[in-house]
Structure 1
Amino acid sequence: MDIKWIEDFLSLAATRNFSRSADHRNVTQPAFSRRIRALEAWIGAELVDRSTYPLTLTVAGKLFNDAASEAIKLLTDARNQLRSEHTAHNMLRVTAGHSLALSFFPEWLDKLNDASNEKPGTHSSFSARITATTIHDSVLALTEGECDLLLCFYHPQLPILLNPDQYEYVTVGSERVIPVSAPDKSGAPLFRLPGSKTKPTRLLAYPATSFLGRVMELILANAPQAPGLLTSYESDMAELLKRMALNGHGLAWLPQRSVEDELDEGKLVAAGGDAWSLELEIRVFRSLQNKRPALTRLWETLLALSASTSKPA
C-alpha cells in the first residue's frame, strides 16, 4: 500500500469529484481512479459509492476517512518533529561581531555550502544560527561551550586570548578598516583627516573597550601626524556609526566591506589615505574538544577550501 493512495482518497473525500481530485493530485483521471481501486482492494471494501452524483462515501469509506485523516496527521506531525530535531542537531552555533554577522557571514556560509556540495556524494548544506555580540561575549561563549564557532577580526597587536592547545583557527578572509565621511556638494569629504586643534574634525567613535575602538586607537597611534578630533557620537555598533556618517554627523572608521555600496554610489567617501587605515584578518575559531559531527564536517570543508585558495596560481 502506497501512502499516496491514502492522500488520494482524502482528496476525493473532500472534493467528491474524481476529475477535480485528479487535477489536485497532479495525475490523470484514469491513473487516479486506478489508485483508488488499488486502495479499495488493499482494504477489502468499497470506499466510494460511484452511483451517486456527487459521489458519496460508503460506510467503510466514512470509517476509513476518519482513520486516514488521523494517520496522516500523526505521520506529518512525527515527520515535522523529526526534521526539527535533525535540524537542531545539525545546527551550528556561531558568534560574531555585528559587522561580520551582517557583511561577511552570509556570503561566507554560501561559499562553504558550495564547497561542501562539490564533494562526491555530498548533497547537504550547513545550517547555522548566528549571534551578533561583542568580542568579549563571543570568546566567553566559545570557552563555555555555548557556541561552536567564533568568527572575529584579528590583528597581531590586538590578540584574541585563546589557548592554542585547546582552540584552533583558520584565517578565512581580511578586512580593511577605513575612515569615511559623507561628501559635500563637490564630492569632497565633509569631515576629513587630520583636522586640527583649532578646527577639530567631528568623530563618530567606538567605546575604548570595544574591539573596533582599540582598532581606532591603534590607527591613531600609528598615524602620520597627531589628528584634531572631537567625538560627537559613540556606539559599539558599526552600523549605527555608518548611519550617522551617512546623515552627515561626522567621520567614522568602518569596515570597508560594510560600506562598499555607499562608496560606489558616492554616498560616502574616503576621509583619509592608507596611512589612516588598518588591515585586519578574519579568523574563525573552534574548540578542539567539540566533536559535533556537523562541526567536524564544516571544519574539514573549511580546511580544504583554505588550502585550495592558498595554492599559488
Structure 2
Amino acid sequence: MDIKWIEDFLSLAATRNFSRSADHRNVTQPAFSRRIRALEAWTGAELVDRSTYPLTLTVAGKLFNDAASEALRLLNDARSQLRSEQTAHNMLRVTAGHSLALSFFPEWLDGLNGGQGADLSARITATNIHDSVLALSEGECDLLLCFHHVQLPILLNPDQYACLTVGSERVIPVSAPDRDGAARFRLPGGKSKPTRLLAYPATSFLGRVMELILAHAPQTPALLTTYESEMAELLKRMALNGHGMAWLPQRSVAQELADGKLVAAGGEAWSLELEIRVYRSLQNKRPALTRLWDKLTNT
C-alpha cells in the first residue's frame, strides 16, 4: 500500500467530494478515483458510499478513517523527529532546475548571506519542474526555485503556497562562431539550409519556452533538430562543440559569450525574458525558512 492512498482517503473524508480532493491532491479526478479503489482493494472493504451526494463514508470507512488519521499522525511525527535529528536546524532543502542550480543559486545564496555572516545553509537538488513541484507539495523540500512566465504559469494554489520574484533571466539563441566571428548557425535559417537546432523536449519547461519564442517570432524559421535534451547544460556543451544553435539562459553562457566561444544567433525578437521565482508552502513553519522568507519579503 502507498501512503499517498491514505492521504487521498483522508482528504476525501474531509471534503466528501472526489473533484475537490483531486484538486487538493494535485492529481486528475480519474487518477484520484483509481487510488481510492486501490485502497479499498487493499483493505478488502468499500470505504465510500458513492450512492449519496455528498458522498458518505461506510461503517468500514469511518473505522478506517480513525485508524488512518492516527497512523498518519504517528508516521509524520516519527519522520519529523528523524529529520530534525539528521538535519541541522538551519539547513534548508531547495529544489531547482539544473540551469538555476548551477548558474543562479550559488550567487543568490552568497547574496543572502552577505553582510550577516554565512548563517544560511542549504541542500539543493537539481531536477525538472514536475519533480520540483511534487517535492514541494509532499514536503520533501522547503523552497522551489524556478523560472516563471505569465503564459507558462506554475499551477500552485495561492492559498497553500507563497511565491516571490528574486531575479530575472533572458533565454537567448546562441551558437559557436564561424571563422569570421559570426554565428555558425543563425536564425531564421532557410529552406535550402535550415538551422541545426539543439532542442528541449516539448514536455519540459524550457521546451515550452522555446515554443513560445517561436510562436511570437518575427518570421517562421527553418529548423532541423539534431539533438534533444531537457538539460540546458548538455545543450550548451553541444553548442560549444559546434553541433547547432540552442536557446539557453543568458546567465549560464555569460562567460562563453564574453570569451567569444559562443555568440548570439538571433536578435532580441528571438529571445524571451523570464522571472526567477521562489515558492514555499505556507504550512511549513521551519524557523530557518521563516527567517529567510521574512528577509526576502523585506528586501
With normalisation by structure 1, the TM-score equals 0.67
Query: Counterpart in 2 of 1:249?
Result: 243
Query: Deviation string for 1:126-185 (max 9, x for gaps)?
Result: 110000000000000001110000000000000000000110111000000000000001
Q: Are 1:282 and 2:276 matched, yes or no?
A: yes
Q: 1:218 is paired with a residue of what secondary structure?
A: helix
CA shift in 2, pair 1:176/1:124, >3 Å = closer
Match of 2:215 among 215, 221, 226: 221
- Provide the rounded CA distance (Å) in 1 between the counterparts of 2:244 and 2:154: 30
Query: Deviation string for 1:210-240 (max 9, x for gaps)?
Result: 0000000000000000000000000000000
Query: Counterpart in 2 of 1:91?
Result: 91
Query: Counterpart in 1 of 2:22?
Result: none
Q: 1:184 touches 1:190 (CA, 8 Å); kept in 2?
A: yes
Q: CA deviation at 1:90?
A: 2.0
Query: Counterpart in 2 of 1:160?
Result: 154
Q: 2:292 is paired with a residue of what secondary structure?
A: helix
Query: Counterpart in 2 of 1:111?
Result: 111
Query: Counterpart in 1 of 2:167?
Result: 173
- Provide the rounded CA distance (Å) in 2 between the counterparts of 1:220 and 1:166: 34
Query: Deviation string for 1:105-128 (max 9, x for gaps)?
Result: 00001111125x1xxxxx561110
- Provide the rounded CA distance (Å) in 2 between the counterparts of 1:234 and 1:124: 39
Q: CA deviation at 1:203?
A: 0.2
Q: CA deviation at 1:198?
A: 2.1
Q: Are 1:233 and 2:227 matched, yes or no?
A: yes
Q: 2:154 is paired with a residue of what secondary structure?
A: coil
Q: 1:138 is paired with a residue of what secondary structure?
A: helix
Q: 1:295 is paired with a residue of what secondary structure?
A: helix
**Greater C-alpha radius of gyration:** 1
Q: 1:194 touches 1:227 (CA, 8 Å); kept in 2?
A: yes
Amino acid at match of 2:168: S
Q: Size of the alignment, in residue pairs?
A: 216
Q: 1:172 is paired with a residue of what secondary structure?
A: strand
**Unmatched 5+ stretches in structure 1:** 1-83, 118-122, 306-313
Q: Percent identity?
A: 82
Give 1:49-68 correspondences, 5 Å limit.
none
Q: Are 1:259 and 2:253 matched, yes or no?
A: yes
- Provide the rounded CA distance (Å) in 2 between the counterparts of 1:224 and 1:233: 24
Query: Deviation string for 1:5-39 (max 9, x for gaps)?
Result: xxxxxxxxxxxxxxxxxxxxxxxxxxxxxxxxxxx
CA shift in 2, pair 1:133/1:238, >3 Å = same
Q: Are 1:295 and 2:267 matched, yes or no?
A: no
Q: 2:89 is paired with a residue of what secondary structure?
A: helix
Amino acid at match of 2:105: F
**Unmatched 5+ stretches in structure 2:** 1-83
Q: 1:249 is paired with a residue of what secondary structure?
A: coil
Query: Counterpart in 2 of 1:192?
Result: 186
Q: 1:88 is paired with a residue of what secondary structure?
A: coil
Query: Counterpart in 2 of 1:60?
Result: none
- Provide the rounded CA distance (Å) in 1 between the counterparts of 2:108 and 2:260: 26
Q: 1:135 touches 1:211 (CA, 8 Å); kept in 2?
A: yes
Query: Deviation string for 1:231-287 (max 9, x for gaps)?
Result: 000000000000000000000000000000000000000000000000000000000
Q: 1:219 is paired with a residue of what secondary structure?
A: helix
Q: 1:175 touches 1:281 (CA, 8 Å); kept in 2?
A: yes
With normalisation by structure 2, the TM-score equals 0.71
Q: CA deviation at 1:86?
A: 8.2
Amino acid at match of 1:89: H
Q: 1:87 touches 1:127 (CA, 8 Å); kept in 2?
A: no
Q: CA deviation at 1:301?
A: 1.1
Let me know the Cα RMSD of the aligned residues.
Answer: 1.3
- Provide the rounded CA distance (Å) in 1 between the counterparts of 2:110 and 2:175: 31
Amino acid at match of 2:197: L
CA shift in 2, pair 1:218/1:94, >3 Å = same
Q: CA deviation at 1:93?
A: 0.3
Amino acid at match of 1:177: V
- Provide the rounded CA distance (Å) in 2 between the counterparts of 1:266 and 1:85: 49
Query: Counterpart in 2 of 1:71?
Result: none
